[in-house]
């Protein structure tokens, strides 16, 4: 069983911001907490059920404890969201999956895995995140290759070179 540990006092290690989660034809704006003491990325289970966000079951469930060893909530995480489109107030967007826990005060928690992936610059006195970078997000500065401009590349491979366009931010492409 995998074990996650979170800070018992999240306000001491967190920055707050507005975020939007999108799936299918739905989207929802909510408060997000960036918490360097959280060992995962989490969404409030009650909110996920109210919004009817599609979920998958974790087998085996994850054990979640505070730094002092106490279980957080039930102490188990049984569900994970399907991939969701996350947009932050600083115009950053990405696809993310979130573990479900009981967290009504901070319905979205972006923890250490998110911080390690993006390595943002954080102004702790103001709680402002800047310089978010994700290795799989690339600004599209040139149009995709066309078969006529690439005669040496077989046509059936050209589709692999075309970036998928972000639905909310057309100038951002997600590359695999």
Domain with CATH 2.40.70.10 in the chain: 3-130
User: What are the backbone dihedrals phi and psi of residue 130, each rounded to the nearest 5 degrees, phi first?
Assistant: -135, 170
pLDDT, position 1: 44
Distances (CA, A) of 62 to 22, 76, 137: 25, 5, 29
Q: Is the pTM of this model over 0.75?
A: no
Residues 3-130: name the CATH superfamily.
Acid Proteases (2.40.70.10)
Which residues are CB-neighbours of 126 under 8 A, at least 6 positions away? none
- Residue 131 in tokens: 């310089």
Residue with tokens 């070179």: 161
CA distance 53 to 39: 22
Q: pLDDT value at position 11?
A: 54
Per-residue pLDDT at 48: 98
Specify whether the backbone of 24 is left (phi greater than 0), alpha (psi in -120 to 50) or beta: left
- Which helix (H) or strand (E) is 115 found in, with range? helix 112-118
Q: What is the model's pLDDT at position 153?
A: 52
Predicted pLDDT of residue 110:
93
Flag residues of the chain having pLDDT under 50. 1-8, 10, 135-150, 158, 160-166, 168-176
Cα angle 176, 90, 165 (rounded to 5 degrees) comes to: 30
Give residue-wise pLDDT tens across range 53-72.
Answer: 999 999 999 888 877 788 77
Exposed, middle or buried: residue 155 (CB in 10 Å: 0-12, 13-18, 19+)?
A: exposed
Kindly report the three-state secondary structure assignment for every residue of 34-101.
EECCCCCCEEEHHHHHHCCCCEEEEEEEEEEEECCCCEEEEEEEEEEECCEEEEECCCCEEEECCEEE
């Amino acid at each position: 069983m995998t074990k996650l540990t979170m800070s018992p006092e999240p306000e001491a290690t967190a920055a707050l911001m507005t975020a939007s989660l999108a799936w299918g034809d739905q989207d929802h704006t909510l408060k997000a907490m960036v918490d360097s003491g959280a060992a995962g990325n989490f969404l409030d289970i009650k909110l996920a059920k109210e919004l009817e966000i599609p979920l998958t079951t974790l087998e085996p469930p994850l054990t979640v404890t505070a730094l002092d060893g106490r279980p957080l909530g039930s102490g188990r995480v049984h569900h994970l969201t399907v991939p969701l489109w996350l947009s932050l107030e600083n115009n950053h967007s990405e696809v993310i999956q979130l573990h479900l826990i009981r967290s009504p005060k901070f319905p979205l928690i972006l923890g250490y895995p998110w911080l390690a992936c993006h390595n943002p610059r954080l102004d702790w006195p103001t709680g402002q995140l800047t310089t978010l970078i994700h290795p799989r997000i690339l600004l599209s500065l040139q149009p995709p290759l066309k078969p006529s401009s690439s005669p040496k590349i077989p046509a059936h491979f050209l589709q692999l070179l075309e970036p998928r366009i972000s639905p909310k931010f057309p100038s951002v492409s997600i590359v695999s």
